[in-house]
Amino acid sequence: MADALQALVEQVAGARRAGQTLRIRGGDSKVHMIGRDCHADRDLKLAGYHGVSDYQPRELVLSARAGTRISDLQLLLAERGQTLPFDPPAFAGSATLGGTLACNINGPGRPWLGSVRDAVLGVQLINGEGELLEFGGKVMKNVAGYDISRLQAGALGTLGAITEVHLKVLPLPEYSVTLAYDCSAEAALQQMAEKARQPKPLNGACWLDGRLYLRLAGAQQAVQHTAGIWGGEQVETPLWEQLRDLTHPFFDGEQPLWRLATNIHTPAEKAGAQCIDWGGSQRWLRSLPGTIPAGSHLALFAGGDRQSEVRGELDPVQQRLQLRLKQSMDPAGMLNPGRLYSWM
């Protein structure tokens, strides 16, 4: 694999010398979502650079090359009773670890279990100068230097081509139950707020199609005891996997899929299809919302016009900082040009 890594470094360095741009590709599972359409002179293919390089269950640390499939990681971890806490989509086996970090894509437990951004301990990447760099490491706490590892989360490969990731993993919950309640979106938001304030093993809260779903996970006695208090109907449902993998019928169809990052106080939309996830922090919408509250961020997650900007405008100060940051890691702007913003 050392040769394969060297070949990747050579490709980036060669493109840099030739003044060419590169489109970074993993498993192509998210190529039409999250970012803008990206056009570049050449592809840099990471899917073939895969494999777990280190896994120490007792350290709760796993290291794998960027092209490693999420589905393979989940299988390996499950054998040891562990899991990726951020529960990323596997997208039918095509999603890779590098792409998952670059997109910072996370499952329905995010408010309670964290994100891949939260779990990443270190990365190896190739910056836009064609240099192979390592940041962070395999330990839980590390504050030496800037946190360039977490910075890769959501950067869509525009700061570097991620080649290896070190992650914190966690034990699988011993037991899990989903409770369902028939109610309006407004009532569901109220319930989500009330339930999330309680010190109970809640790790999922979603409203969809007139039903509120609460997921409890942890020690069996604690889950059963809480389920007894909270009532509702205990259901066996594929809902959480469908939310994670975007396979629920809500996500079907050609119309644009919007994602609003907000908090519990944002009222439910009066019209249009919506799914409230992350205990009210994430709203999936199939049409533009009426208003966007201050501090909330709307993004065109999938579909629609992906040639224009797909995420909110930055204020001029932040735009300046972000552009300078981009230039500090990719001075020629050769990595995934335009994927994040048209001007980046």
Residues within window 7-66 making contact with other proteins, judged by CB under 8 A = 56-61
Contact set for other proteins, span 245-284 (CB under 8 A): 259-266, 278, 281-282
| Count of CA atoms in the C-beta half-sphere (13 A) of 328 | 8
Helix (H) or strand (E) segment spanning residue 187: helix 185-196
Could you identify the residue written with the tokens 């900007």? 309
- How would you label 273-298 residue by residue, b for 16+ Cβ within 10 Å and e otherwise? bbbbbbbbbbbbbbeebeeeeeebeb
| Shortest spacing between CB 311 and other proteins, in angstroms | 4
| Site for other proteins contains 318 (CB under 8 A) | yes
Interface mask toward other proteins for 146-185; x: CB under 8 A: xxx-xx-xxx---x----------xxx-x-----------
Site for other proteins in 290-309 (CB under 8 A): 293-297, 299
Chain positions 99 to 118 lying near other proteins, rule: CB under 8 A, are 104, 110-111, 114-115, 117-118
By CB under 8 A, the count of residues binding other proteins is 91
Output the smallest distance, CB 208 to other proteins, in A.
Answer: 18
Q: How far is the CB of 66 from other proteins (least distance, A)?
A: 18
Phi, psi angles (nearest 5°) of residue 90: -95, -15
Closest distance between other proteins and the C-beta of residue 168, in Å? 9
Q: Which residues of 147-160 are buried (b: 16+ CB within 10 A; e: fewer)?
A: ebbbbbbbbbbbbb
- Residue 250 one-letter amino acid: F
Query: Could you tell me if residue 290 is left (phi over 0), alpha (psi between -120 and 50 degrees) or otherwise beta?
Result: alpha
The Cβ of residue 130 has, within 10 Å, a number of other Cβ atoms equal to: 18
- Residue 325 contacts other proteins per CB under 8 A: yes
- Residue 42 or 112: the one with the smaller Cβ distance to other proteins is 112
Q: Is 230 in the site for other proteins (CB under 8 A)?
A: no
Q: Of 113, 130, 212, 220, whose CA–CA distance to 177 is shortest?
A: 220
Residue 125 Cβ vs other proteins, minimum distance, rounded to whole Å: 10
Q: Which is nearer to other proteins, 208 or 344 (CB)?
A: 344
